[in-house]
Amino acid sequence: MIDHSGLQIQTRKMLIEEGVNCTIDVALNSEEVRNVFHKGDYDLVILDHTTQSCQECTHYILELDPLQAILVVSDAVECIIPRCEDCVNYHHARRLSNPTSIKNIIRMITGFKDYHCDHYDPSTNTLTPEE
């Protein structure tokens, strides 16, 4: 999990570990991301796009494995991958808007492969506006 430091990340970590029966490593910046990725592969990366080094972390992770599963939980307007078509065709990123409940995060983690981007419009190669 790549997020801001503080009580929120520790609480989120604990609740997800209990809800999914998994182990979560936490990284707060790009240096820590490099350190944890040398330990081994990850089934899923949970990322807050508003972290200061988000794009650097994303670039590093996708260089190692373009198909790394990434769940973005963020209120940032931009996506972690600039072109929608590239994201849909070459990467495995999903997104939840913050604030969201732990229940939604756990649902996305457990069913990650079953979800796809609901906002991508292939005819315009853009995100479709929300209704």
- pLDDT tens for 3-34 read 887 778 889 999 999 999 999 999 988 999 99
Place of tokens 């190692």: 64
What CATH number was assigned to the domain covering residues 7-127? 3.40.50.2300
pLDDT in tens, 87-112: 877 888 888 888 889 999 999 999 98
Nearest residue to 122 via CA among 84, 87, 90: 84
Q: Which two tokens stand for residue 110?
A: 């457990």
Alpha helices in the chain (DSSP H): 7-20, 30-37, 54-64, 84-90, 102-110
The whole model's pTM is what? Answer: 0.84
What the block records as the tokens of 72 is 């973005």
Tokens of 97: 């808007």
